Amino acid sequence: MKSGSSTRVEKVDIPLITLLVITSAVTIIVLTDRYDPINLPKLYLLSLGSIFLALYFSLKRVKFDLGRFKLILFSLVAFIATQLASVINGGEIYKGIIGLYGRNLGLLTYLSFALIMMLAAMRTSIGNIQSALYVIFTLGIFESAYGLLQHFGLDPINWRNPYSPIIGTFGNPNYMSAFLGITSIVSLYFFTKSERLFLRFVALLQIIVAVWLIQSSSSSQGLLAIFVGMGLYTLSLIDKNKIARISGIALFFTGLILGIIGILNKGPFSFVYQSSISARGDYWRSAVSMFKSNPVLGVGLERFGDYFGTNRDLQQVTLRGYGTFADNAHNTFLQFISTGGLLLFLTYVVLISIIARYAIKIFHRNNDRFKSRATVSTWVGALTISLLSPENIGFTIWSWVLGGLIIGLYKNEKNSPVVEKSGYKSKIIKEHFSTLRFTTVGVLLLLLFPLTFFVFNSHKSDSDIFIAYGLARSQQTTLTQVSEFIEDSVKTSPHEEKYLALAGNLYRSIQEYEKGVLKGIELEELNPNSQDALRIQAYGYEKLNQLSKAINARVKLTEIDPLGLGNLSDLVLDYGLNKD
């Protein structure tokens, strides 16, 4: 049978399939009976799932040659260690570990990503990579089908969504678009290399539907992923003809340059322009400013929003408006260098560089090369998205999984990643692995208890604040009942800033101004850089006619957001009313 054929019979690797199924579940899971139905459920499953997988791999006695993976293991440890240093330096321990509410890109998320990457690397080889491609292909079909339901108004979930209705299970059309883009790259592999006519037809149909949904969602990220990933894979199909290869490379880079110019609303590809994309420059300049002020360890993991006000410039306010706010640099590299400093940036660059080196190596191998090239092309497409968008658990997890697949393809050259040994050396290694597994299981179990406690409390808090807002909107209950749910939410998760902000705003909306001010004060004590805390206090004091306190809150707000013209305007009014 021809090399690269997708019909080759492969041995099913149960540990790898288990990992891919859990990863797919992280992308798919949503829980609608809560304030955040998207990101928190994904964080729960990601963190618990990664520990389960590590325990499963350990108890299944999956062999792992530490020496073979030493470089990538050290780079991952360095990456996580510098994140931890940034968390401690930033001062916001809870936010640094759990992440900013609504994104949840803290230390816990990246630790889970790193664990899943290593586990994927342990099991992946050219003999089982096909199963991984099938899973990504199937997930792409699922999201495409769900996207069609959303486009035609048949979504079984009634989302409160200000964006395009095509959000998939990501909660945002940009990530849905990006995911459809990278899964289309895998579909192109099956369309070009499968010998089964039906599979080729399904793959072609998925590509057509995906491109149509991407266009309908008015999100350009998916088109960028398709162009880069598909372009790279297509170049691999013509590598036997030198003239065709050179022409293809020239066409690819010409199109790439025109595409980038088009994203900026210039040139013949300006149809891919998206206003939110062009605003990235404002966020990037703010990120550079944060890095300059905190070059070594950054402002603190997930604290971009806390320092955006003091680091944005007049150009941003003039062109985009003073009300514009960003809690992320919208570029993973700039996000890391601004919030984690040069140390985190360098460890991430080293990690990506190692994977890129492995990707280049396997791209030129001859054994089932198209499977490897499809994997590499999909990873490159996913990585491209990180240059323009914040990371997202449901989408970004596949960048890390694909990275693990590439590592495994490079390190596990034979069809089986298991390395068998015999004799006296084998006995020593087995004893070493027994000790290592025992230690690993113990550490994982210790982590499982506080993580389970967090998941339970977070789930309860999110449900309580969701119920409180629902009761307030319905106006069919007493203020006492609403207040009980608000207080329960804050009490159960006292370190989550979002619940204090939501509580303060909800109290203000039901005219419980004194209680709202108290929540604003609690939030300021938790995070002195919180703009929400000071706004909640200022609004509450103004309603209570305590203008001196309102002025004090607004003066503090000018210190952390000096270009906030709305606040400055309200401050002038307060001074006038207070006759100052």
Burial pattern 356-374, b for ≥16 Cβ within 10 A else e, equals: bebbeebbeeeebbbbbbb
pLDDT, mean of residues 149-167: 89
| Rounded CA separation 307/292 (Å) | 13
pLDDT at position 448 is 86
Q: Specify the 3-state DSSP secondary structure of 321.
A: coil
**Residue 293: C-alpha distances to residues 53, 219, 256, 397, 484 (Å):** 40, 34, 34, 31, 43
Contact 465, 502 (CB under 8 A): yes
Residue 64's SS3 state is: coil
Q: Within a 10 A sphere around the Cβ of 154, how many other Cβ atoms? A: 9
Of the candidates 187, 234, 182, 189, the one whose C-alpha atom is nearest the C-alpha of residue 208 is 187
Q: Return the pLDDT at 424.
A: 40
Percent of the chain with pLDDT over 70: 85
pLDDT number for residue 407: 96
Predicted local distance difference test score (pLDDT) of residue 528: 95
* CB neighbour burial string for 425-444, b if at least 16 within 10 angstroms, e if fewer: eeeeeeeebeeebeebeeeb
At residue 153, what are phi and psi to the nearest 5 degrees?
75, 25
Helix-then-strand count for the chain, H and E: 25, 0
Cβ-proximal residues to 217 (8 Å cutoff; 6+ apart), any chain: 147, 164, 166, 173, 176, 177
- The per-residue pLDDT for range 509-518, each reduced to its tens digit, is 999 999 999 9
Q: State the chain's mean pLDDT as an integer.
A: 87
pLDDT recorded at residue 426? 43
68 burial (CB, 10 Å; 0-12 / 13-18 / 19+) is middle
Using alpha carbons, select from 14, 15, 65 the residue that is nearest to residue 414: 65
Q: What is the pTM of this model?
A: 0.91
Cα separation, 278 vs 264, in Å, equals: 6
Tokens of residue 174, six digits: 């940009």
Per-residue pLDDT at 530:
95
What would the pLDDT profile of 442-475 be if each residue is shown by its tens digit? 788 888 889 999 999 999 999 999 999 999 888 7
Task: For tokens 């990585």, name the residue.
Answer: 383
Helices 341-363 and 70-90: crossing angle in degrees, nearest 10, is 160
